[in-house]
Structure 1
Amino acid sequence: MNTAGREPDEAAVVGNPGAGETVQDPARVRALRATVLTVAVLNLAYMVVEIAVALSIRSVALVADSVDFFEDFAVNLLIFIALGWTLSKRAAVGKAMAVIIVLPALAALVMAVAKMGDPEPPAAGVLLWTAVGAVVVNLVCVLLLSRFRADGGSLTRAAWLAARNDLIAGVVLIALAGATALTASGWADIIVGLLLVVLNGSAAKEVWEAATEESLAAKALAGDIDDD
């Protein structure tokens, strides 16, 4: 049977809807907003650095990673904007996050295929120091977001997953620099680009599933789902 209900807004609920809501502390909301805005700015700044370096040394993996930084910037900026929205709108934004996460995977795939015809190796030393910088930035972002991982449902999950994946990618890029120096081949760069496709695809799937659960929870709270 359907029961009439009113969907709670972001100011009333925190955590994963449907898994037990709790009253949200306004101070925590402000802290979350400040955190995601800080993470967005950090990602935008390093994206500019990384894309410039990537294009100069023609690294497929580094270009894909720079797009990941843009992805993180977009995700966190949208979270900053959407925190005051209702659960159903927040779930819709969560699904948009999943689509955004897929974009760098597609970019990496296209670049990897294009480079297969001419697997020129990128400059290993430049790649190494750029990767180290990426790891530092992403580690800071992961630490900042970790205490809010359970807040905001699919939105903050998207941000944390994106930062985690970029941290993993940064470590892989450091290994890539070593492999490139040892082999003097561009194939390692291509392989890492393809690995980023898989990593981002997995994150997109997780975020989409979390947003779907959030959408169903919003409908249940609004009385749009039969309970018999």
Structure 2
Amino acid sequence: MVTHDDLPGPSLDDSPELRSGLRRTVLLVALLNLGYFFVEGIVALAIGSVSLFADSVDFFEDFAVNSLIALALGWSLSRRAVAGKVMAGIILLPALAAVWQAVSKFRNPEPPQVLSLLVTAGGAIAVNLLCTWVLARWRHHGGSMTAAAFLAARNDVIANLAIIAMGGLTWATRSGWPDIALGLFIVALNVTAAREVWEVAESETLAARALAGEEIDDD
């Protein structure tokens, strides 16, 4: 579960060296996510897995978020706050995809092929752990933008572990319902992350207004 304490406060650090290092990092993460988006998406469609499909869209979401970060570095605090709110919306895309897939399988919850699911989820864990590791040192720079990237990668590791556990349950029960339930769990993860990133972006908006000399209404 993501909590507000996990998120960094607004960052006003405009060091060119830090921006350059963070840009290289997020571009690497973006490319890693784009590559595995195709891998996981193709397998998910082939075996009919709701949870794996939702997770593949997560990889595209992470590609979009990290690409946007690379573009937004060096922007003003107010523009970064807007970017953070855009990212909060992007995080919701996998949730919508998972809901659509889950609803479409309600009438015929066929179980996915377990072995392919487990192997693909294992690869996803490796990619997401690498992304989480390289992003960890930057989570206190960039405000809501870096928070979006770090939270997305960390939540994906949790989802991948859950997919592996669900694979075992699917094998034991020969039912597609565990896969559907996990798809909805991934929805909850993404909604939580989107809310937290939006809150940090809101705090950046207030900080930008304060720097501009505007009066802030505490109500």
**TM-score (structure 2 length as normaliser):** 0.93
Answering whether residue 118 of structure 2 is matched by residue 128 of structure 1, we say yes
Structure 1, residues 181-205: CA drift from partner, whole Å, max 9, x if none?
1111100100000101111000000
> Which one of 9, 16, 23 corresponds to residue 16 of structure 1?
9
Aligned partner of 1:161 in structure 2 is: 151
CA–CA distance in structure 2, aligned partners of residues 67 and 204 of structure 1: 15
Runs of 4+ in structure 1 deviating by more than 6 angstroms, as ranges, are: none
CA contact (8 A) 1:16 1:152 kept: no
Aligned partner of 1:62 in structure 2 is: 52
**Cα RMSD after superposing both structures:** 1.5
> Which one of 212, 218, 223 corresponds to residue 213 of structure 2?
223
- Structure number with larger C-alpha Rg: 1
> Which one of 2, 20, 41 corresponds to residue 31 of structure 2?
41
Partner amino acid, structure 2, of 1:78: L
SS in 2 for 1:65: helix
What percentage of aligned pairs have identical amino acids? Answer: 58
Answering whether residue 175 of structure 2 is matched by residue 185 of structure 1, we say yes
Partner amino acid, structure 1, of 2:47: I
Aligned partner of 1:30 in structure 2 is: 20
CA contact (8 A) 1:33 1:80 kept: yes
CA–CA distance in structure 1, aligned partners of residues 121 and 45 of structure 2: 14
Shift of 1:48: 0.4
Structure 1, residues 20-78: CA drift from partner, whole Å, max 9, x if none?
x6654322221110000000000000000000000000101010000000100000000
Shift of 1:16: 3.1
> Which one of 57, 71, 87 corresponds to residue 77 of structure 2?
87
Q: Aligned residues, how many?
A: 211
CA contact (8 A) 2:91 2:194 kept: yes
CA–CA distance in structure 2, aligned partners of residues 183 and 174 of structure 1: 15
Aligned partner of 1:151 in structure 2 is: 141
* Structure 1 stretch displaced more, 105-114 or 78-87: 105-114
CA–CA distance in structure 2, aligned partners of residues 71 and 23 of structure 1: 26
Structure 2 unaligned segments of length 5 or more: list them. 1-7
SS in 1 for 2:206: helix
CA contact (8 A) 2:95 2:191 kept: yes
> Which one of 123, 140, 160 corresponds to residue 170 of structure 1?
160
CA contact (8 A) 1:108 1:193 kept: yes
CA contact (8 A) 1:98 1:158 kept: yes
Aligned partner of 1:7 in structure 2 is: none
Partner amino acid, structure 2, of 1:27: E
Aligned partner of 2:3 in structure 1 is: none
Partner amino acid, structure 1, of 2:27: L
* Structure 1 stretch displaced more, 76-85 or 107-116: 107-116
Structure 1, residues 78-120: CA drift from partner, whole Å, max 9, x if none?
0000002111111001000000001111111121111111000
CA–CA distance in structure 2, aligned partners of residues 75 and 178 of structure 1: 32
Aligned partner of 1:137 in structure 2 is: 127
CA–CA distance in structure 2, aligned partners of residues 139 and 24 of structure 1: 28
CA contact (8 A) 2:14 2:74 kept: no
Aligned partner of 1:3 in structure 2 is: none
Aligned partner of 2:61 in structure 1 is: 71
Structure 1 unaligned segments of length 5 or more: list them. 1-14
CA contact (8 A) 1:36 1:145 kept: yes
